[in-house]
Structure 1
Amino acid sequence: MSDQAFDADAVLKLIKKSKASGNELPFAFGLAAKPENCGLMIDLRKPGKVLRGELKKMPGIRKTCFGTLRVEENEVFLQPEKPLKGIVKQLKKKFKAEGMVKFKPVLVGPDGSIIDEDSLPDDDAEDLETAAPAQADDGAADDLKQRIAAAAEAVRALGSTELAGKLAVEVKAAAKLLGQGGLDGCAARLDRLEAALAKLQSRPEAAPADPEQAAKLSKLLAAQAARIKVLPPQQAAPLAEQARAVAASLKSGALPQAAEGLKALMKALDAPAEAEAEAPLPDVMEIWQAAKEDVDRGISELQAALRSQNHPVLAQIADAGLAGAADGNQTALMKALFEMRSATGDARKKAAQALLAQVAAYGKFLKSDPVIALVEDNPFGISAPVKLPLGTALRQIAEIAKAA
């Protein structure tokens, strides 16, 4: 088998990089008849699905899977989308043969729990994309045809924009899958496209804001901004981030979220300068702020591309940014981060539990929101990673909260 299926130097380098950074990396694994012929590909940029496609071309590979991996200490946690029996046993022997014996492969499920691969069925199959196309069911095919037609109409309703053109390509791709008999693949593609279109087109208009309340909140925010300006830079930076989140809520007319954000901001500013002496914990706010800054760079570029289309719906999405897509998750998480940061004594445990709840809610939003998927796989070709940097930060924050 070609050494390309398991480039030991590249694999070791990227495992060490994941260990040092704490970041997840995409991977693909290829099961072989003998452990010495198994394959493992890891990459910083290529999705696991693409890597798996490359592995399939390698001689001797019988089954494949793909997903993400992370390294803690010397344990390599492999989280494939579909667990494949034999991945741990073959990698243990392959690592030993390649002089990487100190690294231990561990198989984990979608929720992060460790899986005993012996409990997996022996006939674990490839995913549907690798199976032979089944005979199309006429009724199911007709339903998919109707969904494709409806999606095409929804895309046309966006107008003559570049985004509409890109989404039209997605419609054509779904139609092609249907023509090839790939009903499940066609349905999955339509599910994602329909969810994104529904959120883009059917987002309800914000209720008219109360001008008097908005003015009052703006005045309070200005007062807090003045207090932040006189603080040391290290202390002021996270507070300024919270103030910007409140300002974004005000601008979008989300007055209840703005009021909650202001309450948390004022509480943080009024907290005693010296808290009770306790074992120091890493600053959860700094972790989140650093991750969000990474995300904001790609989002800003994508916002500019959306505004350039001169379409009112796209302009509204660009103005809302990631905070708009988060539907209140950002404000709730920021509030919990501030409370955790300033809490002491028994209040710290209570704040930690509240933070864990918000981390779980935000993590669920990242995994399921179709707009986030569309941001990362946007039709402009702009690199705007969201799930990986924010997901990594959420896991680090959760570990800190659990230790409180």
Structure 2
Amino acid sequence: MAELRVEGKQIKKLLTIAKRQPISFGFNPANPDENGYLALHRKKTPTVLGKAARSEGDGPKFTFGTASLKGKLLSLTCERDIPSLAKKVKKYLKSQKVVLNIEILDADGNLLDSDIEDDLPDDPDLEARDGDQEIADGDDNDDDDSDTGPVVDTKALTQRLVALKPEIEAVQGDIGAKLQKAFANTVGQVKSGNLDAAATGIDRLEAALAKISANTAQDSTGTPAPNAKDQIQKLVAVLKKLKGEADGLADADARTNVSAMIGQAAEHLRAGDASQATTALTRIRDAIVEARKAGSPTPEQEDTSDTENPADIWIDAKGEADASLGPLMSHLASSTDPNLQRIARFGLNGVTKGNNTALMAALMGYNSASGDARAQRAKDVIAQIDAYSSFLASDPIIALCEDNPFGQTVSIRAPLTKALKRMKTSLAA
């Protein structure tokens, strides 16, 4: 593969071409500035240079697009935005003895960022001369037919897909449906080995999400998405129900212990952490059950003591699936991407569409109910079981986790599907 990275005088030679026509670029800023990665090319596409910047650069972020030079102003039309990009490009170019003003434009030509100062020194090397076109063509190494761009890494594509999933799920309406369809197609391309097409698809998904960032799962202020808010509200209702049951416990020590646990669960809910809150509520429910067993059981408790608790079935199965996911998630733990870190930390809760939280909320509501209300709660649980079963059967990320490129054996659908069937049978008894 031809070397796409350019430095020093190579940059100046190609920028003289950018005075006459836009040329493609890829950029990956790094610290210190001189370690940044810049690719420039007259013929190759911006996407190819973007892939090179991403895979060969030292920094975690990259961008790509087209570059045009007018006088001392370098205009970069970018497919991806990076904060303070103009300043970063200017510092990198200065480290290469290329002194220019910088402006950053989006795909529609809108100004995003700039770093402009007066009285920049003239640079005779940036004046177009006869023969510069041929020199630049020679630097492009277009006679190397084997150069098809950077080798596409299956593992890297998988990580990017996993990171995109929660953002795509947060987009509502017709746009969200289109993104999810495109996402599923891209997952299929990775699994079938059509990696070039998959890489292009991921680039397009990332660009689309950048334009509709207001609809992502979490905005810049940290406000949870509407679906997350709904789940938190459901868990708050469960917590209130459990608190009422805890207040009715006969054992004073048990009441004190459970009250402390309720306080911890409330902290998780205030922080918007549905996963940790769900775990805390499950422990509270178990503590209440144990406290009741230690006292005199009511007739209703005696009638149900031999019935298999669906919550226990699910917790055991989820623990098995999480343990199976562990080795795979460890590959993501070292990532700097917050979405990948979230998946590595929360396991199944990081790859599902809120199904775990919704199911656990329904199960705890069922265990907290009695009489006619319990029968209705059972219907709620069955509805969540059906939704979760459909999710397991169709979700592309679950399939990709089980058929992953890291060589890890992962079993998610088998234990969870078996548990869901057992739970449904138990509730119907």
- The question of a shared fold, defined as TM-score above 0.5 by the shorter chain, is answered with no
Q: TM-score under structure 2 normalisation?
A: 0.39
